[in-house]
Amino acid sequence: MRRVAGLETRIAVAVEPGPDVTILADRDQLEQLLINLVRNGADAVLETGGGVTLSWSATHDAVDISVIDEGGGISGTANLFVPFFTTKAGGTGIGLTLARQIALAHGGRLDHAQSATGGATFRLSLPLDRGNGRATHAQLGVR
């Protein structure tokens, strides 16, 4: 999580640590998903002066990762995950589509909601190994 946050150089991305969780996943794909969400959040807050926060929590069977921005929010969300649909000048409309496909390929889901600050919240929910709550490959953390 800290690595993804550090890749965004235009703003400082806050990381709110959650529990140590390890999930069975393709690390590179999950990083790409989170990079897309953080980049979109940074684009939004560059216009408003707000911030972007990465956080996560876990239940007995899933980990929820949130990317929350204090931007101006997203209008016209009905087509948000439609390929090639974009609300950004010069946007390609593939970032969120790719992010959702990566989530689905990992047995998870990616949802959007308006944040409490009026910006956007994207929540990625991924299953944990039901056998012992832990698996291998992609570890969330700030180590």
pLDDT tens digits for range 38-78? 999 999 999 899 999 999 999 988 999 999 999 988 777 66
Beta carbons of 122 and 65 less than 8 angstroms apart: no
Identify the structural domains of the chain with CATH numbers, from first to last: 2-73+100-140 (3.30.565.10)
pLDDT in tens, 71-92: 988 777 666 766 555 666 666 5
Question: CA–CA separation, 61 vs 129, rounded Å?
Answer: 7
61: buried, middle or exposed (CB in 10 Å: 19+, 13-18, 0-12)?
A: exposed
How far, in whole angstroms, is CA 84 from its chain's centroid?
A: 19
Instruction: Find the mean pLDDT for residues 2-21.
Output: 94
Radius of gyration of the chain (CA): 15
Asked if the model's pLDDT at residue 28 lies above 80, the reply is: yes
